[in-house]
Structure 1
């Protein structure tokens, strides 16, 4: 006996669930609509995304498809 405590099993810590995001990694804000041309979210929505409730994120996601017409065509 060495007098050392018996090693214990590590405690499994639950991993947080991944947050689904519409981000496409094309982060450019359209000047006219103030929406990201990649994901169609506003700057405020992007900034608050990780703090939003799942219901709030779902509401934004449901609204995104109607926003595509708000983005001005991009000039080359």
Structure 2
């Protein structure tokens, strides 16, 4: 069994209207909504997507969801 990871929320909630993701943590609106009820495996899968999203955002590149 996988331990539940901590939420990636950094309390800087700002949604990017074009890509519909939080510019603070990188999660989509849907991912934020499902986080609390998601399995540990699903939470880990979401976390695995965030570094690339945040790197693309930081580089000024489009974030494809």
TM-score per shorter chain, which class? 0.7 to 0.9
Return 5+ residue gaps in structure 2 as ranges: 61-65
C-alpha RMSD of the superposition: 2.3
In the superposition, the TM-score normalised over structure 1's length comes to: 0.65
Give aligned pairs, total.
57
Q: Is the 8 A contact 1:37 1:71 kept in 2?
A: no
| Between structures 1 and 2, the one with greater strand share | 2
Greater than 6 Å deviation, 4+ residue runs? none
Return 5+ residue gaps in structure 1 as ranges: 1-16
1:12-54 deviations in Å (ceiling 9; x for gaps): xxxxx87610000011100111110000000111011000000
Determine which of 29, 39, 56 is the counterpart of 1:53: 39
